A and B are shown apart, each in its own frame.
Chain A
């Protein structure tokens, strides 16, 4: 799949523009880092409350953070796609990138499970009670998988080809 995408990106006008615009790469990296701070910063609060910690706040009070989590994800989806288009030959065969993308996919499925199974019932939760087991599993999976995304993402320049 990544090879197909890489062959589509390679030589495209967007690919050439990214490679020729010398300041673009560091600017995209900065945006990618700010995006990850929004994504992870919001998720730390959302997931810890979902797991039953931070009971000083109502379980569904954290829903207000979700637009920032999603905004961080969208920023990183855009900048991340531009990294790929800018250097497709390097990313498509990089094992760090491939594992990172698998983990992002897993995090997406986990988020859907939250959306369908946990989010609708959160307003019924007792403020002071422990969270349901499913909610705890989803919350800790989210924090673990996103930490994995950070680690594998940062290792992309250092690991070999797949």
Chain B
């Protein structure tokens, strides 16, 4: 199946075109900055930093974060397609996917918790323990995703 993916015309284009692979990598780092940037600032806020910043701002930034995620899901899939069978056995790559899955799931749970807190009129200054643990988890998986992603190029 992975070999079939590698032989599709789009995967061959990614692998053979002079500009496709670097351009996709360039898109991938912009998406990374948007997703990991917004989510890490949200997590730091939930962990008690930026007291003057209302947590509601991150409800408004979710759509932008999801746009960043979409950019990276697409560019990431295209980059993957050109080396699918190799990456499918790469430990750093598989670890990165797990981290992203945990990070995105945590984001959805946090989002619903934030909406609930705002609806029920609770101030952002009183973040409950479970939400703080989720924020710490989120921060650590996004850092781990970056570490694992970078190591794809170094560990076989």
Contact = CB atoms under 8 A, between A and B. Distances in A.
Interface of A: 26, 29-30, 33-34, 36-38, 40-42, 44-45, 48-49, 53-54, 56-58, 60-65, 68, 147, 150-151, 153-155, 157-159
Contacts of A49: 57
Which secondary structure characterizes the binding site on chain A? helix
A137 B33 CA distance: 21
Interface in B4-46: 21-22, 25-26, 28-30, 32-34, 36-41, 44
B37 A42 contact: yes
A159 B149 CA distance: 22
Contact of A36 (B28, B33, B49): B33
Contact of B25 (A33, A45, A53, A154): A154
Interface string B139-153: 000110011011101
Nearest to A40: B33
Contact of A30 (B21, B52, B150): B150
B49 to A, nearest CB: 7
B155 to A, nearest CB: 9
Nearest to B30: A150
A41 B40 contact: yes
A95 to B, nearest CB: 13
Nearest to B18: A158
A57 B45 CA distance: 13
B53 A61 contact: yes
A154 B26 contact: yes
A56 B60 contact: yes
A30 B25 CA distance: 16
Given A41-B38, A158-B22, A68 B56 contact: no
Nearest to A152: B26
Contacts of A57: 53-54, 56-57
B51 interface: yes
Nearest to A49: B57
Given A38-B40, A68-B44, A26 B150 contact: yes
